[in-house]
Structure 1
Amino acid sequence: MKKTLRLLLFFVVIPALSYFAFRYGQRKYHDYQWERSHAEFMAQATNTASENVTVLRDSILIPYQNSKRTVHVYLPPGYRENDSISYPVIYFMDGDGAFNELENESEEWRVDEVIDSTVNAGGRGAIVIGLESAEDRDGEYTPWPTSDIPQAHGEAYMNWFCKEFKPWVDANFRTLPAPEHTTIGGISRSGMMAYYAIMSHPETFGVALIQSPSMWVDEERLLAMEPNGDLSNKKVFVSVGELEAPMVPLAQKAHDRLAAAGISADNRKLTVYEGLGHWHITWRQSFAEAYPWIVL
């Protein structure tokens, strides 16, 4: 009996403890490296937002959450000089990543630079509204409760977005409020929510920018969704980095489901960016490619 226990200790318990100690140390070292890298980035970070970006701190109340949210607003060149022109609107969830590396505490997507340069070259401008996520980002950006996220309230969030937040934007800025002029966009988990939004609220959104969508969150139910209206005149831009290995086939499935829901080949695009992973540089490149197509 004692020999068996010694063998069990030597061959099972000690190796198991060693493995878990190694994994814990590896994780702590990874966290240390990330914190060090982040601190170095922030020490050199600058305000990269264009002068026509405004940050409205804690300005929007979400009544059902009893919480306020920060909104980042980009107005295109010429907006203030000519009050006779109204503009299409691009809404970004995870919107603190759109304009400024100081706000994002990482690389930003250069949304303002893309639109500024487009307008300066004679192209069309757009208003961009970036809405920051909740502290419980997973709960807000998951449509329905799951075993992993029982507190999910994405369905209620998107209802609030369409019924209260968008009307506030339309009342306070010179927007073109019709669905065909209204884009919903996001990255990762909020990219999945952009897919959910175009399927569930086609009366509000005419275009979806679906970047690196985390369809794995609730893959079966998301892909089984039936559109809540006619999608035949909608546009979708789906993108993913080549190195986001498990998410590449899921992006393909999201694209194919939207095609099956009625979006024509001319009105949908799927792009896989070679050599890029799940990161802000990927979403920066995606927006630069998508923007001219979105505002055609």
Structure 2
Amino acid sequence: MRLKAWLYALFLLGTPYDSAAQQLLTVRVTDIPHTHAGEPIYITGNFNRWNPAEESMVLQRHTDGSYGIRVLLEDVPSDRLEFKFTRGDWHTSECTAEGRLEGPRLAMLDRDTTIVCQIEGWRDDFPPSTASPNVHLLDSAWYIPQLDRHRKIWIYLPEDYATSGKRYPVLYMHDGQHLFDEATSRGRIGPIEWGVDEVIDTAAEKCIVVAINHQTDYKDRVPEFYFRPNEEYPEVEGPRYLQFIVETLKPYIDSHYRTLPSKAHTGLAGSSLGGLITLYGGLAYPDVFGTLGVFSPSIWLDHGNIEQELTTLTNIQNIHTQRYYFYAGMSENRLKPDSTFVHMHDDVQRAMGLLKKAAAPQLKLSVREDGRHGALYWREAFPAFYDWFITGTRKHVQ
């Protein structure tokens, strides 16, 4: 969606426009929190690449206390409008009255579209951390010998861990910054976290979660999550990253915490490139990981390597006894490096077909009709995956 940076205050409601391709968006905010009076309010969305502080997107204040803006959009595809309000950055984003961030507001655009909104709260008026008390910092700078670098790692322990005497399944997850806490999360539409801790806090059956942060710079995250070299990344680090989890991290967790260390009670999960390395992790270590949570895997970036992997599998017997949970959104569409356009759910279904043909493990596919690529959708998909993970571990009580 492209914006042709025309901005009109509400008092210009009569301004004409001629092009049939143009769409006039009018937004009114009739109620806002009483805090931060006088500070500018911005609108941001999929019409301006989610810039939270674009100066042309400041709402105008009116004598009745409401705010408003008119934006002339041109060449807008027939699609839904996604937008949010901020006061200039994501830490000052709008939120619920309870202080939680939610997904974007949605509206269908017509030639003239008027939207009336109320803002319940501002995120920076609430405590920055949303992490459960059951989330603990395992190490702020864990040394990864396989990669010769340090990394922050988190651990979620069930509330009754100290007193129950029980042993628990373990779920290893990538991108730890985005799993538990809005204070450490960041994303295209704001710092929306997965809510993994809240899901397990309220679940009848608990597990331990070990969450590994990705590298601070997103560009450094990429080679760690590639398993096979490609033209863009002739040297990749995915095999050594997985080796760290299997040969260094998991032995430590199993020796220092009351875990159920068997394959049947050990899971690996991640999204996007983290979903891709999760899929490779299952195939490379089928004797270690019994359940794989593969959320929106970036197969489209893998230059056909995963398809090649799935057609040349070894250790078929161990893969056959694994369980793979795939999630994909019907609106996760991407431009590939070769300039062709792909639907990511098609990639997922093709990979599942190859995996079924090669080894026939237990497969589960969750598809969301309006699902797009981002933490908002993975957060909403995680509870069903967690139930499926726990159901699988329940069949192998130790």
Please state which band the TM-score falls in when normalised by the shorter chain. Answer: 0.7 to 0.9
User: Equivalent residue of 1:143, what SS?
Assistant: coil
Q: 1:240–1:282: 8 Å Cα contact kept in structure 2?
A: no
Structure 1 residue aligned with 2:30: none
Q: 2:264 aligns with which of 180, 184, 192?
A: 180
Give the superposition deviation at 1:103. Answer: 1.5
Q: 1:207–1:235: 8 Å Cα contact kept in structure 2?
A: yes
1:214 aligns with 2:286: no
Q: 1:97–1:108: 8 Å Cα contact kept in structure 2?
A: yes
Q: 2:159 aligns with which of 65, 77, 80?
A: 77
Q: 1:116 aligns with which of 201, 208, 230?
A: 201
**What are the Cα deviations for residues 80-130 of structure 1, in whole angstroms up to 9, with x where unaligned?**
1122x1110011011221111111131111111111111xxxx22100111
Structure 2 residue aligned with 1:224: 308
1:40 aligns with 2:92: yes
Q: Give the structure with the higher percent strand.
A: 2
User: Equivalent residue of 1:101, what SS?
Assistant: coil
Q: 2:168–2:259: 8 Å Cα contact kept in structure 1?
A: yes
Q: Distance in 1 between matches of 2:253 and 2:141?
A: 12
Q: Distance in 2 between matches of 1:96 and 1:182?
A: 21
User: 5 Å matches for 1:56-75?
Assistant: 56-75=138-157
Instruction: Name the count of aligned residue pairs.
Output: 262
**Bigger Cα displacement from structure 2, 98-107 vs 176-185:** 98-107
Q: 2:135–2:154: 8 Å Cα contact kept in structure 1?
A: yes
Q: 2:214 aligns with which of 133, 155, 158?
A: 133
Give the superposition deviation at 1:173. Answer: 1.2
Structure 2 residue aligned with 1:13: none
1:295 aligns with 2:390: yes
Give the superposition deviation at 1:57. Answer: 4.2
User: 5 Å matches for 1:120-269?
Assistant: 123-134=204-215, 135=217, 136-225=220-309, 226-229=312-315, 230-245=318-333, 246-264=343-361, 267-269=362-364
Please give the TM-score of this superposition, normalised by the length of structure 1: 0.82
Q: 1:198–1:208: 8 Å Cα contact kept in structure 2?
A: yes
Moved over 3 A (4+): 29-37, 41-45
Q: Distance in 1 between matches of 2:355 and 2:133?
A: 37
Q: Distance in 1 between matches of 2:282 and 2:358?
A: 11
User: Equivalent residue of 2:142, what SS?
Assistant: strand
Structure 1 residue aligned with 2:178: 97
Q: Give the structure with the higher percent helix.
A: 1
Q: Distance in 2 between matches of 1:34 and 1:202?
A: 47
Q: Distance in 2 between matches of 1:231 and 1:102?
A: 38
Q: 1:145–1:153: 8 Å Cα contact kept in structure 2?
A: no
User: Equivalent residue of 2:159, what SS?
Assistant: coil
User: Equivalent residue of 2:230, what SS?
Assistant: coil
User: Equivalent residue of 2:302, what SS?
Assistant: helix
Q: Distance in 2 between matches of 1:53 and 1:212?
A: 25
Describe the shift of the 1:30–1:281 C-alpha distance in structure 2 as closer, same or farther (beyond 3 A).
Answer: closer
Please give the TM-score of this superposition, normalised by the length of structure 2: 0.62
Q: Distance in 2 between matches of 1:132 and 1:173?
A: 20
- The amino acid across from 2:201 in the alignment is D
Structure 2 residue aligned with 1:281: 376
- The amino acid across from 2:193 in the alignment is E
Q: Distance in 2 between matches of 1:240 and 1:49?
A: 26
Q: 1:89–1:126: 8 Å Cα contact kept in structure 2?
A: yes
Unaligned 5+ runs, structure 2: 1-47, 55-87, 94-122, 334-342, 392-398
Give the superposition deviation at 1:32. Answer: 4.1
**What are the Cα deviations for residues 198-240 of structure 1, in whole angstroms up to 9, with x where unaligned?**
1111011111000000012224221121334221211111001
Describe the shift of the 1:237–1:44 C-alpha distance in structure 2 as closer, same or farther (beyond 3 A).
Answer: farther
Q: 1:195–1:254: 8 Å Cα contact kept in structure 2?
A: no
Structure 1 residue aligned with 2:71: none
Give the superposition deviation at 1:62. Answer: 0.8
Give the superposition deviation at 1:159. Answer: 1.6
Higher RCO by CA contacts (8 Å cutoff, separation 6 or greater):
1
Structure 1 residue aligned with 2:57: none
Q: 2:147–2:240: 8 Å Cα contact kept in structure 1?
A: no
Q: 1:93–1:133: 8 Å Cα contact kept in structure 2?
A: yes
Give the superposition deviation at 1:251. Answer: 1.3
Describe the shift of the 1:293–1:217 C-alpha distance in structure 2 as closer, same or farther (beyond 3 A).
Answer: same
Q: 1:231–1:261: 8 Å Cα contact kept in structure 2?
A: no
